[in-house]
Amino acid sequence: MAAVKRYRVYVTLKPQLLDSAGRTVRDALNSLGFDDVQNVRIGKLIEIEAQAADRSAVEEMCRKLLANPVTEEFEIEEVEG
């Protein structure tokens, strides 16, 4: 059987946009005593398994559905094995 292809897609909020969830988590970390934490940003990790999709197909998935180009950026990582 042919090995499936695995990808990790990281979707993150554009840096210039306020991440309100990240800010809340930063505040919580500060209140737990992690005083040196200045910034927290939260993104999504989407794992994809496919028979044949190459990187350009995954890019198309990101553009069409997985990421919102107005607010988000994405990075694709192919996972070995």
Partner 1 sequence: MKAAIVQIPGSNCDQDALFGLRGLGIETEYVWHASDTLTGFDLVVIPGGFTYGDYLRCGAIAARAPVMDAVRQFAEGGGPVIGICNGFQVLIEAGLLPGALLPNVGQRFLCRTVHIKAVNRESLWTQACEKPLAMPIAHNEGRYVAEEETLKRLSQENRIAFVYCTPTGEVTEEANPNGSVQNIAGVLNERGNVLGMMPHPERAILQELGSTDGRCLFDAFAHAHAT
- Answer for which of 2, 3, 65, 81 binds partner 1 (CB under 8 A) is 65
d(CA 52, CA 32): 46
| Shortest distance, position 36 Cβ to partner 1, whole Å | 23
Residues 12-41 interacting with partner 1 (rule: CB under 8 A)? 13, 17-18, 20-21, 23-24
By C-alpha distance, which of 26, 28, 32, 62 is closest to 44?
62
- Answer for which of 34, 68, 78, 79 binds partner 1 (CB under 8 A) is 68
Residue whose entry in the numeric block shows the structure tokens 């994405």 = 74
Token pair listed for 10: 């990281």
Q: Contact, 2 vs 51, CB < 8 A?
A: yes
Enumerate binding residues for partner 1 (CB under 8 A). Answer: 13, 17-18, 20-21, 23-24, 65-66, 68, 70-71
